[in-house]
């Protein structure tokens, strides 16, 4: 086991971004709690469980809406309008819509925070990839819900879809009886929209598969504040209906939810291949991030068999189920031994702090060596008459600025003082994770400080503080992240539990803080009080960062004030749904459209008239050549001429693996308003072109004229 510098700080560009996020969380914490150690009312600490709660809200309101919904192009919009005309229906529908937007935003913020805090690689790749898959499913399910309303947004989505897939789907919406032709489709989409979310339960289980004691329920205050924010936004701004869908009228200036439907105008402008190809590449790159941006940690943990007594404390406290107990078959007097699964270990070191027998260590960070160096350093500082205060903190606190920069840190030659140095140290003996220097007091005098950065606060064994005090430390401070915001999930919980159970080991001036990363003020205030600098302690004093043993429960009004900060954050998230609703259009200025749709059975290549007589003679009587030679059909060539110029010239291939299926085609021609001479030619036998439509077509601005293929007569008819 070798010494190694903190790995977390090596990704400097990612830490810079994380500092920005931590400042946002710190700003919320300033108003959301009287003490960091009180589990601040900060919804940004509960984004994962908040997404699950929003999914529950969407499900409950969706069940209510489904009871009153009627599928079909003739009834869908009317049933939605009828619901919106009642206060309860309007409230339920608005909450459903805003919660759907909130689910996407909260899930994305959860993914963003996971990335910024370096929790996406190694054994956590499964949670990362499944998170992106669930985000895509959330979007697809929500998209189906927008389509079910059958308003102008749904019409735009329908036209976009049938222009891509064409086929029988297009003819369902363009035939004579649209309601009958599309009823089954509405029922299928309604079923998928209502029941596919049940499969998300499996996704959530997979997402938390590698977590011990996974949390699925968000705190009650988050539930209450979320419902209050949703109800407030829904009551203040009920969701308004768009005009009903009309496939004979072009969608112009529809108000779109760009979070779900923004791809419609974007794809129209940049083209489907570029838009969807770029989106697919981005999604694949994001999902593959754990491999092409893989990081490092100090693990895996290594069990020392000679010391292991099989107590199973390490297995119980491991947050990632990376340790299991196995039966021993050696000469030991103990029955079991801990076994680490290396690919599940995150290098948090919680098992190191949990082990009472010093039987487990991180592969790249030997705690015994670090403690010996710390003890030696503190002893020499005490011999100099200037005992130092030691500060234990996790890598995250060190990287994000919770520990103020040390001054007066000087390397020292063996056995002597460096020029100007205030603390005698042997720099060669210090592991890179330990830093020695000073912080100035109110008079500007340097006061000795030793900082020790660990993978997680849970790495600290309760004996460590006692050992450091015995070695001559003037005091010890253990700094942990807030309990709901630990990068390794449970570090603050376990270290607080150990110190609480082992109070006899907390000698003298030893304190425990839970601080939001990037906020050094509470630490400096506590440190100033520990060195007797009352002036600086008073200057730095703040209600944020009291020691756990000094916390006073907030009053009812104080608690309500702290909850208000979380409420404002969630209001901002749900109000973003309003900002994302912006007008969009796919209609060219002062244009109309002719839409051609074709469902053609096609002609068989193996028909009698196309075969050589010598081939026909070899076939049995009353046998269709297609049964023997196959049912492959000729492609269909289509040419459209408008006002003497070629507007469309395209070839449509038969469907099916052997090209034996029907031939579908759809085209749009944008034209200025007025009468236009239109001619349509068709060739379906690779030999002869035939005129299948000729006439004047009146095109109105913002309107659609349909030319539909009549299979019986083999011509296009204007509708």
Q: How confident is the model at residue 611 (pLDDT cuts 50, 70, 90)?
A: low
Q: How confident is the model at residue 630 (pLDDT cuts 50, 70, 90)?
A: low
Across 449-456, average pLDDT:
91
The answer on pLDDT for 4 being more than 80 is no
**pLDDT per residue over 373-428, tens digit each?**
888 888 888 887 788 899 999 999 989 999 998 887 643 333 333 333 333 333 33
Separation between Cα atoms, residue 477 and residue 510, nearest integer Å: 6
- Give long-range contacts, CB 8 A cutoff, 24+ apart: 367-370: 367/459, 367/461, 369/1, 369/3, 369/431, 370/431, 370/433, 370/434, 370/452
For residue 249, what is the DSSP state? B
Q: How confident is the model at residue 432 (pLDDT cuts 50, 70, 90)?
A: low
The answer on pLDDT for 372 being more than 90 is no
The answer on pLDDT for 429 being more than 50 is no
The per-residue pLDDT for 575 is: 87
In whole angstroms, how far apart are CA 628 and each of 607, 684, 712? 11, 22, 26
Beta-sheet pairing, 592-600 with 704-710: parallel
**pLDDT per residue over 671-704, tens digit each?**
999 999 999 999 998 889 999 999 999 999 888 9
The answer on pLDDT for 552 being more than 80 is no
The per-residue pLDDT for 425 is: 36
**pLDDT per residue over 329-346, tens digit each?**
888 889 999 999 999 999
Across 607-632, average pLDDT:
63
The per-residue pLDDT for 241 is: 86
CB 636 within 8 A of CB 664: no
The region of weakest confidence among 320-324, 392-396, 528-532, 559-563 is: 559-563
The per-residue pLDDT for 75 is: 93
The CATH code for residues 301-360 is 3.30.70.3270
Across 131-138, average pLDDT:
94
Q: What is the share, in percent, of the chain residues with pLDDT greater than 70?
A: 86
Residue-range domain boundaries for the chain? 46-292, 301-360, 381-552, 592-718
The per-residue pLDDT for 68 is: 94
The per-residue pLDDT for 133 is: 94
CB 31 within 8 A of CB 204: no
The per-residue pLDDT for 610 is: 60
Q: How confident is the model at residue 544 (pLDDT cuts 50, 70, 90)?
A: very low
**pLDDT per residue over 163-172, tens digit each?**
887 777 777 8
Separation between Cα atoms, residue 589 and residue 192, nearest integer Å: 37
**pLDDT per residue over 195-227, tens digit each?**
888 888 899 999 999 999 999 999 998 999 999
Across 568-581, average pLDDT:
86
The answer on pLDDT for 529 being more than 90 is no
**pLDDT per residue over 230-240, tens digit each?**
999 999 999 88
Separation between Cα atoms, residue 99 and residue 60, nearest integer Å: 11
CATH 2.60.40 fits 592-718, yes or no: yes
Instruction: Output b/e per residue, 507-543; b: 16+ Cβ within 10 A.
Output: bebbbbbbbbbbbbbbbbbbbbbbbebeebbeebeee
The answer on pLDDT for 265 being more than 50 is yes
The per-residue pLDDT for 505 is: 46
CB 185 within 8 A of CB 300: no
**pLDDT per residue over 70-126, tens digit each?**
999 989 999 999 999 999 999 999 999 999 999 999 999 999 999 999 999 999 999
The per-residue pLDDT for 165 is: 78
Q: How confident is the model at residue 323 (pLDDT cuts 50, 70, 90)?
A: very high
The per-residue pLDDT for 615 is: 64
DSSP string spanning 412-474? --TTSPPTT-SS---GGGS-TTEEEEEEE-TTS-EEEEEEEEES-GGG--HHHHHHHHHTT-S
The answer on pLDDT for 504 being more than 50 is no
- Please tell me which residue, 155 or 434, carries the higher pLDDT value: 155
The per-residue pLDDT for 579 is: 83
Cis peptide before 300 (omega within 30 of 0): yes
- Please tell me which residue, 362 or 590, carries the higher pLDDT value: 362
Separation between Cα atoms, residue 268 and residue 559, nearest integer Å: 50
- CB neighbour class for 256 (10 Å; exposed up to 12, middle 13-18, buried from 19): buried
| Selection from 462, 505, 454, 450 nearest residue 481 by Cα | 454
The per-residue pLDDT for 109 is: 95
The per-residue pLDDT for 422 is: 37
Fold of 46-292: Cytochrome Bc1 Complex; Chain C (1.20.810)
In whole angstroms, how far apart are CA 682 and each of 174, 651, 656, 677? 20, 10, 21, 17
The per-residue pLDDT for 34 is: 52
Mean pLDDT of the chain: 84
Structure tokens at 685: 């036998």
CB 425 within 8 A of CB 381: yes
């Amino acid at each position: 086991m070798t010494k190694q510098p903190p790995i977390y700080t090596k990704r400097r560009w990612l830490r810079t971004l994380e500092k920005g996020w931590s400042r946002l969380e710190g700003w919320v914490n300033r108003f959301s709690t009287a003490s960091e150690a009180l589990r601040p009312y900060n919804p940004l600490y509960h984004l994962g469980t908040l997404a699950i709660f929003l999914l529950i809200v969407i499900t409950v309101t969706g069940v209510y809406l489904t009871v009153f919904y009627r599928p079909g192009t003739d009834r869908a919009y009317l049933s939605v309008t009828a619901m919106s005309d009642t206060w309860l229906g309007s409230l339920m529908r608005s909450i459903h819509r805003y919660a759907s937007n909130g689910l996407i935003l909260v899930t994305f913020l959860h993914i963003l925070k996971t990335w910024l805090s370096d929790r996406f690689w190694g054994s956590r790749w499964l949670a990362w990839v499944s998170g992106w898959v669930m985000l895509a499913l959330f979007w697809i399910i929500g998209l189906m819900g927008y389509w079910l309303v059958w308003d102008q947004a749904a019409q735009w989505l329908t036209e976009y879809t049938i222009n891509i897939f064409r086929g029988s789907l297009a003819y369902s919406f363009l035939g004579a009886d649209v309601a009958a032709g599309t009823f089954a489709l509405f029922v299928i989409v309604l079923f998928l929209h209502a029941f596919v979310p049940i499969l998300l339960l499996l996704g959530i289980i997979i997402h938390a598969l590698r977590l011990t004691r996974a949390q699925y329920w968000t705190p009650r205050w988050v539930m209450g504040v979320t419902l209050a924010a949703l109800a407030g936004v829904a009551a203040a701004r009920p969701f308004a209906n768009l005009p009903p869908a009309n496939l004979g009228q072009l969608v112009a200036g529809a108000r779109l939810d760009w979070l779900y439907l923004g791809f419609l105008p974007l794809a129209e402008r940049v083209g489907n291949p570029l838009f969807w190809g770029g989106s697919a590449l981005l999604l694949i790159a994001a999902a593959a991030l754990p491999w092409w941006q893989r990081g490092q940690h100090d693990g895996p943990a290594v069990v020392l068999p000679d010391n292991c007594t099989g107590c199973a404390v390490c297995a119980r406290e491991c947050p990632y189920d990376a340790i299991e107990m196995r039966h021993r078959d050696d000469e030991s007097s103990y029955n079991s031994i801990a076994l680490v699964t290396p690919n599940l270990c995150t290098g948090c070191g919680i098992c190191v702090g949990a082990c009472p027998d010093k039987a487990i260590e991180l592969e790249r960070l030997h705690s015994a060596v670090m403690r010996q160096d710390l003890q030696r350093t503190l002893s020499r500082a005490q011999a100099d008459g200037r005992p130092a205060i030691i500060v234990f903190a996790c890598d995250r606190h060190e990287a994000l600025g919770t520990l103020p920069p040390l001054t007066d840190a000087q390397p020292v030659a063996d056995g002597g003082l460096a020029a100007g140095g205030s603390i005698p140290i042997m720099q060669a003996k210090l592991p890179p994770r330990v830093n020695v220097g000073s912080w100035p007091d109110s008079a500007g005098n340097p006061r000795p400080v030793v900082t020790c950065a660990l993978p997680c606060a849970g790495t600290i064994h309760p004996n460590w503080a006692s050992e450091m005090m015995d070695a001559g430390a003037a005091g010890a401070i253990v700094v942990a992240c807030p309990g709901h915001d630990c990068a390794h999930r449970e570090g603050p919980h376990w270290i607080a539990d150990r110190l609480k159970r082992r109070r006899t080991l907390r000698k003298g001036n030893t304190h425990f803080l839970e601080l939001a990363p990037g906020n050094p003020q509470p630490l400096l205030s506590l440190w100033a009080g520990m060195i007797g600098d009352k002036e600086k302690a008073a200057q730095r004093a703040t209600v944020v960062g009291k020691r756990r043993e000094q916390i006073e429960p907030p009053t009812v009004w104080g608690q309500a004030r702290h909850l208000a900060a979380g409420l404002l954050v969630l209001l901002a998230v749900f109000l973003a749904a309003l900002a994302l609703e912006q007008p969009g259009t796919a209609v060219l200025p002062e244009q109309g459209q002719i839409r051609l749709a074709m469902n053609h059975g096609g002609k068989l290549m193996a028909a009698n008239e196309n075969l050589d007589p010598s081939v026909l003679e070899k076939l049995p009587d009353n046998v269709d050549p297609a049964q023997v030679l196959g049912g492959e059909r000729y492609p269909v060539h289509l040419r459209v001429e408008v006002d003497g110029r070629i507007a469309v010239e395209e070839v449509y291939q038969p469907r099916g693996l052997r090209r034996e299926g029907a031939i579908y085609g759809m085209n749009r021609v944008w034209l200025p308003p007025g009468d236009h001479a239109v001619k349509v030619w068709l060739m379906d036998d690779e030999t002869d072109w035939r005129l299948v439509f000729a006439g004047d077509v009146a095109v109105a601005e913002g309107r659609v004229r349909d030319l539909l293929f009549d299979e019986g007569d083999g011509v296009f008819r204007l509708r």
